[in-house]
Amino acid sequence: MSTDSPVLPMPARDPRAQRSLRVASGTALCLAASFGLGLPIPMLAPVLGVFLLASVNQPVSPKAGLGLVLVVMLTTGTGLLLIPMLRYYPVSGVLMIGLCLFLAFSYGLRGGNNLVSTFLVIGLTMISAAGTFDFGLAVMVIGALVKGLLVAVVVLALCHWLFPEPAGAQARPAAKALPDDQAAWIALRAALVVMPAFLLALNDPAAYIPIIMKAVSLGRQSCTTTARGAGRELLGSTLFGGVLAILFWCALSLFVHLWMYFLWMLLFGLLAARKLYGLSPSRYPPGFWVNTLVTLIILLGQSVQDSAAGKDVYTAFAVRMGLFVGVTLYAWLMIELLDQPRGARRHAR
């Protein structure tokens, strides 16, 4: 009779600590690399890094990373195709942009790749708006997106090497595809959230690119937010991101250096990432903390650029924060007015 006891499998380690470290360190590395290398629109790399690190829990192979960059080049290139229509037939061009935004959000809600959906939305809005003002500016925005994504992909691989996923950790479950009627209704709502920022950017794309990025983040968040918690989540994350940006600026002012910029971003990113993955108790969903971190990066990055250009940082911050709050209030209104129909709500329950 055998007396050997059965070998029990080791329980899987909690992966949330590793994921929090990846998001925080990856965001800080993207920020330092983009500003250190002098990339155009340097806040793009850390924003894309947040979206990528919060969505992907597995390392991306070089082939897959290159494929993602090529997909971004193709999807953002669609904005170039709509520039002639916006210039010569502006009403039809704006309606076409709205339709394309609806289709891009629908693709993600029906089970498609959410990252591709986000890049398509960014390309449709930022590049087409820049192209109506100056074609060279549109090409520069495409280059900034591609370079920013390359930085984010390299940082993602580095962070997975530094903080690997624990053995046996469960992969993130794939997003469930919504029913067609529900997906269409939410996609319409998200497209309407993004459209006002796009219309503002048609007047001065260089000044309103941060507003477009904020609107895209709100559009993503509106896809997972109900009317009941919309005000608290959308407006709360925007205001909290602004408060963190003020605290970050005061801390950075003590000693202005790129490495201090990196270290402070690491600290603030870690605070948000712990909330994002539930290591620190929070009443708010993950989308709240992603939007908070994105708002912090956009506000702070633009303030750093304003300071380098010799502009009045505090006045520009107040104006930009006011626009952010205005765009957020509009997004809240759209969610309240276009909440899921009763039948879709009953189906979701």
DSSP state of 340: P
Tell me, what's the pLDDT at 297?
93
Comparing CA positions, the residue from 51, 14, 15 lying closest to residue 30 is 51
Contact 217, 294 (CB under 8 A): yes
Give DSSP secondary structure letters for 250-280: HHHHTS--HHHHHHHHHHHHHHHHHHHTTSS
Tell me, what's the pLDDT at 227?
56
Q: Calculate helix-pair angle for 205-222, 286-308, nearest 10 degrees.
A: 170
pLDDT above 60 for 8: no
pLDDT above 50 for 328: yes
Mean pLDDT across 87-110: 87
pLDDT above 70 for 347: no
Tell me, what's the pLDDT at 340?
54
The token pair at 98 is 């709205």
Banded model confidence at residue 267, pLDDT cuts 50, 70, 90: very high
Mean pLDDT across 300-323: 87
Per-residue model confidence as pLDDT tens digits over 168-196: 656 565 566 667 778 888 888 888 888 88
Per-residue model confidence as pLDDT tens digits over 50-72: 988 888 777 777 777 777 777 77
Per-residue model confidence as pLDDT tens digits over 23-43: 999 999 999 999 998 888 888
Mean pLDDT across 253-264: 90
Tell me, what's the pLDDT at 10?
42
Neighbouring C-beta atoms of residue 172, cutoff 10 Å? 13
Tell me, what's the pLDDT at 192?
87
In the chain, % of residues over pLDDT 90? 17
DSSP state of 145: H
Distances (CA, A) of 207 to 98, 130, 133, 211, 248: 21, 10, 12, 8, 22
Banded model confidence at residue 348, pLDDT cuts 50, 70, 90: very low
Candidate from 82-91, 148-157, 213-222 with smallest mean pLDDT: 213-222
Distances (CA, A) of 116 to 105, 153, 193: 10, 14, 19
Question: Largest Cα–Cα distance of the chain, in whole Å?
Answer: 88
The token pair at 255 is 């000693």
Q: Helix, strand, coil % (nearest 5) of the chain?
A: 75, 0, 25
Identity of the highest mean pLDDT range in 3-17, 171-185, 257-271? 257-271
DSSP state of 311: -
DSSP state of 225: -
Tell me, what's the pLDDT at 268?
94
Half-sphere exposure of 203 (CA within 13 A, CB side): 6
CA distance 30 to 152: 6
Per-residue model confidence as pLDDT tens digits over 203-248: 877 778 888 888 888 887 777 666 566 667 888 888 999 999 999 9
pLDDT, mean over the chain: 82
Contact 168, 12 (CB under 8 A): yes
The token pair at 333 is 């209104």
CA distance 106 to 188: 8
Tell me, what's the pLDDT at 251?
93
Q: Is the dihedral of CA 279, 285, 287, 293 positive or negative?
A: negative
